[in-house]
Structure 1
Amino acid sequence: MRKYSIIIPVYNRPDEINELLESLTRQTYRNFEVLVIEDGSKLTCQHMVEQFAGQLEIRYYFKENSGQGFSRNYGFTLAKGDYFVIFDSDCLIPEHYFATVDAYLNTHYLDAYGGPDRAHPNFSPIQKAISYSMTSLFTTGGIRGNKKRVGGAFHPRSFNMGLSRKVYETVGGYVITRMGEDIIYTINIIKHGFTTGLIEDAYVYHKRRTNFRQFFKQLHFFGRARINISRFYPKELKLVHIFPALFTLASFSIPLLSLFSTPLYQLALSLFILYFLLILLDATIKNKSLEVGLLSIIAVFVQLVGYGIGFLTEGWRKLRE
Structure 2
Amino acid sequence: MFFSIIIPLYNRPQEIDELLNTLTQQTYMQFEVLVIEDGSVNDAKAIVDKYTNLLDVKYFLKPNEGQGFARNYGFERAKGDYFVIFDSDCLIPKDYLEIVRDYLFEHKLDAYGGPDAAHQSFTPVQKAISYAMTSPFTTGGIRGNKKHVGQFHPRSFNMGVSREAWEKVGGFILTRLGEDIEYSIRIHENGFKIGLIPEAKVFHKRRTSFSQFYKQLHFFGRARINIYKHFPSELKLVHFFPAIFTCGVIFTILINIIYWPLAFVCNFLMLVYFMLIFFHSWQVNKSLKVAFLSIIAAFIQLFAYGLGFMQDLFKRVVLKQR
Q: Which residue of 1 aligns with 2:84?
A: 85
Q: Which residue of 1 aligns with 2:24?
A: 25
Alpha-carbon separation, structure 1, partners of 2:158 and 2:251: 38
Contact kept in structure 2, 1:133 and 1:303, CA below 8 Å: yes
Q: Which residue of 1 aligns with 2:146?
A: 147
Q: Which residue of 1 aligns with 2:214?
A: 216
Q: Which residue of 1 aligns with 2:234?
A: 236
Alpha-carbon separation, structure 2, partners of 1:114 and 1:5: 15
3-state SS of 1:142 partner: helix
TM-score normalised to the size of structure 2?
0.98
Alpha-carbon separation, structure 2, partners of 1:295 and 1:145: 22
Contact kept in structure 2, 1:34 and 1:57, CA below 8 Å: yes
Alpha-carbon separation, structure 2, partners of 1:224 and 1:141: 16
Report deviation, 1:256. Answer: 1.5
Within-5 A mapping of 1:123-138? 123-138=122-137
Report deviation, 1:26. Answer: 0.2
Contact kept in structure 1, 2:153 and 2:185, CA below 8 Å: yes
| Residues 116 and 83 (structure 1), Cα distance of their counterparts in 2 relative to 1, 3 Å cut | same
Structure 1 counterpart of 2:282, one-letter code? T
Report deviation, 1:260. Answer: 4.3
Contact kept in structure 1, 2:132 and 2:140, CA below 8 Å: no
Within-5 A mapping of 1:61-140? 61-140=60-139
Deviation string 1:22-51 (CA, Å, 9 cap, x unpaired) is 000000000000000000000100111000
3-state SS of 2:76 partner: helix
Contact kept in structure 2, 1:222 and 1:307, CA below 8 Å: yes
Report deviation, 1:235. Answer: 1.2
Alpha-carbon separation, structure 2, partners of 1:243 and 1:263: 25
Unaligned runs of 5+ in 1: none
Q: Which residue of 2 aligns with 1:305?
A: 303
Structure 2 counterpart of 1:309, one-letter code? L
3-state SS of 1:60 partner: strand
3-state SS of 2:214 partner: helix
Aligned-pair identity in percent equals 59
TM-score normalised to the size of structure 1?
0.98
Alpha-carbon separation, structure 1, partners of 2:90 and 2:226: 25
Report deviation, 1:12. Answer: 0.3
3-state SS of 2:142 partner: coil
Q: Which residue of 2 aligns with 1:43?
A: 42
Q: Which residue of 1 aligns with 2:51?
A: 52
Structure 2 counterpart of 1:20, one-letter code? L
Deviation string 1:99-133 (CA, Å, 9 cap, x unpaired) is 11001111112110100000001111000000000
Report deviation, 1:141. Answer: 5.8
